[in-house]
Structure 1
Amino acid sequence: MFRLNITKLRYIAKNNGDSSGYAISRRTGIPESSVYRYLNGTAQPDLNSAMRLAEAYDIDLRTVIKRVPVGAVA
């Protein structure tokens, strides 16, 4: 199972001038409500949204996605 590494995403976004969910939404085209759910950890991005995040910040997708053992609470 894979999960969004929220800490890394926030760090990368902030270094690119995006310190809010609104700013991340504007840069990526992902709906603001979805971005806030990702940042709060209540939802995980689908592959399309994960790719949008990676492309918007010019990073390898593996930079913001971490592997979580099956059955582990993350």
Structure 2
Amino acid sequence: MFRLDVAKLLEATAARGDTTQAAIRRRTGIAESSVSRILRGEAQPDLNSAMRLAESYDIDLRQVIKRVPIEVAA
């Protein structure tokens, strides 16, 4: 399973001067409610949103997506 590394994304957004959810929405076109859920870790971006974030902040998705082990019930 893969998860967005929110801390790394926030570094990239801050580097562009986007320190608010509204600023991220304006730059990416992603709904502010979705941005909010993504930044709180309550939701993962779909591929389209992940690509918009990557292109808007000139980052490689491999830099902000990390592999998370899948827990298997015993």
What TM-score comes out, normalization by structure 1 length? 0.92
* Aligned match of 1:16: 16
| Runs of 5+ consecutive residues of structure 1 not aligned to the other structure | none
AA aligned to 2:41 is: G
Deviation at 1:71, TM superposition (A): 1.7
1:64 offset after TM fit, Å?
1.0
Q: Which residue of 1 aligns with 2:31?
A: 31
Hey, what does 1:6 align to over in structure 2?
A: 6
Q: Percent identity of the aligned residues?
A: 65
**Runs (5+) with no aligned partner, structure 2:** none
After the TM superposition, list the runs of 4 or more consecutive aligned residues in structure 1 that deviate by more than 6 angstroms.
none
Larger Rg: 2
Over residues 16-54 of structure 1, what are the superposed CA-to-partner deviations in whole Å (9 max), with x where a residue is unaligned? 000011111110010000000000111000011000000
Equivalent pairs, count: 72
Question: Root-mean-square deviation (CA), in Å?
Answer: 1.2
